[in-house]
Each structure stands twice: as C-alpha cells, then as structure tokens.
A = this chain, B = another copy of it.
C-alpha cells in the first residue's frame, strides 16, 4: 500500500480509497468530469487523453452519465488507473498540472437524473411518521415489512448541493380547519437520505436480482429530500406525496463509487417476517455509514445508516420485479435515515415530534425550518485503507417564499 503523493491527501477523508467523481468547470469553460483527491480536483480529461484511454471522451461530458454507462469493469479499471497515478511518484509530472484547488472550480449537478425513486426503508422513520400522520392506527402499515415501500419523485427538480431552496407555497389544511388555505409552507422539513445512482441500465421486461446490485449501481450521493409536511399531509391520500416533495431534492456534488464502500458493508438489523424469495437478502447487506445533520452550524442528529431495515440491493430488486427497466442516471434514494434514539432522527418532523416537542439548535428552540436556515448533511464510512472516507456532503439554505 503506497501513500498518495498529493499534498494533504494521505490519511485524509479524501485519500485514494475514496476518489469520488463529480462535474466541475473553470471560469469560461464547459463543465467536465473531475475526481476529488484531498482538497483538489483532478481534471481527468487531459490526463486520460495523454494516456490514450479508450474511454477518454466520457470525461469531456457535462455529466457523469456517459462514464457511468461504461459499466462496472470500466469503473473498476479507472479506479486502479487513478490509484496508480496518485500513488506513483513517477506520474507526478504528468498529473500535477491538472490538479485544481477546490476553491477555483465551480461544481455542478453530477448526474443527469433519469427517474427518481424514493424509498422509505427506515423502520424507525416509518414508525415515527405513522404515529404522527395516523395517530389512531397502527404506526406501521401492513405492507411495510413485506416490501420496501417507495414512490416516484420529480427528477427535474433534483438540484446540486448549495442551491437555495425557496419555501414552497401550496394548499395546507390542519385537521382542526374546515377547509384548506393557500400559502407558504409552515412545516418545512429535511429528510437525511442516501442516494444510489444507476450506471448500467436494464431492459424492459427483465429483473435485477438482489445479487446483481453492483452490476447496475455506479455509486452513492448524499441526498436531502426537502419536504413541506403541511402540504404533504393534505395532499397525500390516496396517491402519495406530490407537491410536498417536488419543489426540490438536493444531492451532493460528489458521487462516491461503490468500490469505495467495500469496507462499509455490514449485516442488516434483521428482517422478520422473512421476505419473499425475490427479496431474500442473501448477500445483500447494510451499509455502516455515519450521517450528521447540521442545522445552522450545530449537529442536531447522527442517524446511523446501518439501522436501515431494507438493503439497497433489495430496493433495486423490488423496483424491477415487475419488469420495469433501469436507465443510466436513475436515482434511487433510501428514504429518511432515522435510528432508534431521538438524536438519531433524520427529519425535523421527528426531532421536534410534529412541532409538539421543540428541540434546541444553535441556542434556539426549534421545530421546523425557518427562512435563512442552512442545513448540511455529512456522511462518513470506513475506508479500505483503515481510516474513514467522506461521502459527498449536501447543503442548502431556505429563502423566503415568493409573493
């Protein structure tokens, strides 16, 4: 194991066992593909061209989609190639001119999102929401432990980390009110999630088995599924969340390739009843990823991804069991990550128990998001070199509603 020669990278959260992919631009130039190492971005295209890589054209694209479509083998060999470049001192003269300080580049939405599916895979989150939205019924609906519940979200409003979020307007009706009123959401919330990005699609009429997850998924992004709880609560029967979610979903600039998570796989908490055969966990496992929810500079929650009930591979198998095809760029989100403890909850709805049990952040009592609030989600996982790696963080600031 040779150390990375890039200044400050070895032993950092962005060492050569991380190497996330993103899309950057320099002033006056078109966006293209980069790889993060330490606090620098490697401009891959000129290096790949100099080394006459077959796939060098994919690095000139304004999204990762062409790269992702190359498939698992290409992704793995590029990772080996990059690791060589960044650990072999003799490559330094070739590579160093193409390392750009993060502060000098603009980062963009890394993926052209095809379809966006959002699951609901945390037992604690689903139970908490059930208790609040349906107080007179069993918190967990009868289907929840038999299949990973999910729905389609709006792909066109997936935005990159750093994009301001305009407080949405819409119809809201409290249970105590006779009729709905129009106005800005009063219960604006976050959902701390992880997103899985599809690289290799699948044909209409075929299925992706649990065991074939890594043949289709390229990597992982941080994801904040902004939610207007008052709009959602009024609209969501019987066809599910719509405008309460569709105004914005933020994802990280960086896509962590699946191989960087090789040391992060862990056992699932356990599934009872045993799922039907097509969902049998088999080799499907959980991910030991630590999440931090920061509100106005203070960490208010640390949801553990390892507590998720359904594995990512089960989600992908479920969403294709009816023959639905996958496309390069499909984004599959986990749903809110919440652990069993109060300080492990991944939404303000749960942290403040629907506004009834305010919590404290940065010295102030809080329930839902206020204008000017900034939320940042951070994710780390065990790396393959013994330390930890950082996944792409995702941040956003609430700006006032229109009108």
Whether a CB of chain B sits under 8 angstroms from the CB of A151 is yes
Instruction: Tell me, in angstroms, the Cα distance from A114 to B114 when the chains sit together.
Output: 8
The closest CB in chain B to the CB of A153 belongs to: B152
Whether a CB of chain B sits under 8 angstroms from the CB of A370 is no
Instruction: Tell me, in angstroms, the Cα distance from A239 to B244 when the chains sit together.
Output: 12
* CB pair B152 A323 closer than 8 Å: no
Of B235, B277, B319, B402, the contact of A323 (CB 8 Å cutoff): B402
The closest CB in chain B to the CB of A401 belongs to: B323
Q: Is the contact region of chain A dominated by helix, strand, or loop, or is it mixed?
A: loop
CB distance from A310 to the nearest CB of B (A): 14
Task: Tell which of A134, A277, A323 has the most Cβ of chain B within 10 Å.
Answer: A323
Whether a CB of chain B sits under 8 angstroms from the CB of A143 is yes
From 85 to 144 in chain A, residues with beta carbon under 8 angstroms from any chain B beta carbon are 114-116, 120, 130, 133-134, 141, 143
Whether a CB of chain B sits under 8 angstroms from the CB of A82 is no
B residues near A273, Cβ cutoff 8 Å: 179
B residues near A355, Cβ cutoff 8 Å: none
Whether a CB of chain B sits under 8 angstroms from the CB of A246 is yes
Instruction: Tell me, in angstroms, the Cα distance from A239 to B114 when the chains sit together.
Output: 20
From 146 to 163 in chain A, residues with beta carbon under 8 angstroms from any chain B beta carbon are 146-147, 149-157, 159
Of B133, B154, B241, the contact of A115 (CB 8 Å cutoff): B154
Instruction: Tell me, in angstroms, the Cα distance from A173 to B145 when the chains sit together.
Output: 13
* CB pair B171 A243 closer than 8 Å: no
* CB pair B156 A235 closer than 8 Å: no
Instruction: Tell me, in angstroms, the Cα distance from A93 to B186 when the chains sit together.
Output: 65
Segment of A67-75, A285-293, A325-333 engaged in the interface with chain B: A325-333
Whether a CB of chain B sits under 8 angstroms from the CB of A1 is no
Known contacts A179-B146, A235-B147, A276-B171; A325/B156 CB under 8 A: yes
Q: A235-271 interface mask toward B, CB cutoff 8 Å, 1 = contact, 0 = none?
A: 1111111111011100000000000000000000000
One complex includes copies of this chain to the number of 2
* CB pair A277 B402 closer than 8 Å: no
Of B166, B180, B238, the contact of A205 (CB 8 Å cutoff): B166
* CB pair A239 B151 closer than 8 Å: yes
* CB pair B243 A240 closer than 8 Å: no
CB distance from A376 to the nearest CB of B (A): 21
B residues near A181, Cβ cutoff 8 Å: 276
B residues near A247, Cβ cutoff 8 Å: 322-324
Known contacts A150-B239, A277-B182; A168/B246 CB under 8 A: no
Instruction: Tell me, in angstroms, the Cα distance from A260 to B134 when the chains sit together.
Output: 47
* CB pair A238 B239 closer than 8 Å: no
Instruction: Tell me, in angstroms, the Cα distance from A114 to B329 when the chains sit together.
Output: 12
B residues near A114, Cβ cutoff 8 Å: 155-156
The closest CB in chain B to the CB of A206 belongs to: B402
Of B143, B180, B235, B318, the contact of A234 (CB 8 Å cutoff): B143
* CB pair A166 B323 closer than 8 Å: yes
Known contacts A143-B234, A154-B115, A276-B182; A243/B322 CB under 8 A: yes
Instruction: Tell me, in angstroms, the Cα distance from A248 to B143 when the chains sit together.
Output: 23
- Chain A residues within CB distance 8 Å of chain B: 114-116, 120, 130, 133-134, 141, 143, 146-147, 149-157, 159, 166, 168-171, 173, 179-182, 204-207, 228, 231, 234-244, 246-248, 273, 276-278, 318-319, 321-327, 330, 402
A sample of 6 more A-B contacts (CB under 8 A), given A149-B239, A149-B242, A246-B324, is A166-B204, A169-B321, A169-B322, A236-B240, A243-B322, A323-B402
What 9 pairs across the A-B complex have the smallest Cβ distances?
A: A240-B240, A168-B322, A151-B239, A152-B152, A239-B240, A247-B322, A243-B322, A246-B324, A166-B205
12 A–B pairs (Cβ distance < 8 Å), ordered by A: A115-B155, A143-B171, A143-B235, A146-B171, A146-B173, A147-B171, A151-B241, A152-B154, A205-B402, A236-B239, A240-B240, A243-B324
